[in-house]
Structure 1
Amino acid sequence: MGGGRVAHPVLKGPSVVKELVIGAVLGLAAGGLWKMHHWNEQRKTRAFYDLLEKGEISVVVEEE
């Protein structure tokens, strides 16, 4: 009276190498985006101070 055998799928554990590669790629992508944002902010700040030194803009409100 043995029951029929049911074929169960073999579950594999997480692949350590695959996890490391995915983590490294995601980390580098996020780091690259953060650096690009940082460089853009630096560029805007430099442009502001260059215009300020040239006298093209002012931070003092003109009285009318």
Structure 2
Amino acid sequence: MAAAHKVARKGPSVVKEMVYGITAGLAAGFLWKMYHWNIQRRTKEFYDLLERGEISVVVEDE
């Protein structure tokens, strides 16, 4: 008779799952923060141009 090999099935590693979750959360948070930094930069550039008079929000009459 051949020796039967036992396959030990372990459940998910709690620590590994926590590390995966934290890593995914930090990555998503960083991408979200980069998006907001970009919006903030664009808004600041708009108001700087508006203050310097290079652009206007009023349509000029012809």
TM-score over 0.5 for the pair: yes
Runs of 4 or more off by more than 6 Å in structure 1? none
Report the identity percentage.
68
| Superposition CA RMSD, Å | 1.6
Structure 1 counterpart of 2:29, which letter? G
Structure 1, unpaired ranges of 5+ = 1-5
**Equivalent-residue separation in structure 1 for 2:59 and 2:8 (angstroms):** 73
Structure 2 residue aligned with 1:13, among 8, 11, 14? 11
* Larger-Rg structure: 1
Unpaired segments ≥5 residues, structure 2: none
Partner AA of 1:20 in structure 2: M
Which SS does the other structure have where 1:53 is aligned?
helix
Report the TM-score, using the length of structure 1 for normalisation.
0.83
Q: Tell me the TM-score normalized by structure 2.
A: 0.85
Per-residue displacement from partner, 1:15-44 (whole Å, max 9, x unpaired)?
Answer: 000000000000000111111111111000
Aligned residue pairs: how many?
A: 61
